[in-house]
Amino acid sequence: MAVKIRLQRHGKKNFAFFHIVVADSRAPRDGRFIEQLGSYNPNTNPATIILNSERALAWLKVGAQPSLVCRRILSYEGVLLRNHLDGGVAKGALTAEQADAKWNAWKAERDAKVEAKKNGIKNDAIAKAKAAKAEETKVNEARAEAIAKKAAKLAEAEAEAAAEAEAAEEAVEAPAAEEAPAAEA
């Protein structure tokens, strides 16, 4: 029986997540499986991977073949490196302590990269928010300036209209005042 480590699709349309399973290669993709090793959610940034590394390593040692995507996931989690180092220990190329030291150094480096990526994503989001706020402030100031100009023009037009009305009133009153003395005489 050929055993594969592969993904089993779950979730809704356009929002899939996957279970990492060990299954007979003849079984359907979402069908019967031997053991579930973890889950993979590519919808988050960075992708969320939950994996039982010990069980995955045990299955690799007995000959289970990972699919291409599962191979990438196992490599990302360090399971393939651990398998490689255990092979070196079995052959006598290095000691168990040396293998553990190499694996721990790799794990620390990988964790630092993941943390740097998370911090970078968070900092980018903060920078985008600041830029959006600055742009919004700029637009609001431009709108306020336009409203102030419009209000100034309205006030100026009202003042001109009032001055014209006052001038018209004076013009109407002036001829009436001139006619009144003529009528008295």
pLDDT digits 0-9 by tens, 106-155? 999 999 998 999 899 999 999 999 999 999 999 999 999 999 998 888 88
pLDDT given at position 62? 92
Give the strand pairing for 65-66 and 3-12.
parallel
* Predicted local confidence at residue 157, as pLDDT: 87
For residue 62, give every residue at least 6 positions away whose Cβ sits within 8 Å of its Cβ, in sequence order, or none: 3
More confident residue, 108 or 185: 108
- CB distance 88 to 74 below 8 Å: no
Predicted confidence at residue 178, as pLDDT, reads: 64
Q: What is the mean pLDDT of residues 174-181?
A: 62
Order of strands across the sheet that contains 35-41 = 48-51, 35-41, 15-24, 3-12, 65-66
Per-residue pLDDT at 80: 92
The radius of gyration computed from the CA coordinates of the chain, to the nearest angstrom, equals: 40
> Judging by DSSP bridges, how do beta strands 15-24 and 35-41 pair with one another?
antiparallel
- pLDDT digits over 70-102, tens only? 999 999 999 999 999 999 998 988 888 999 999
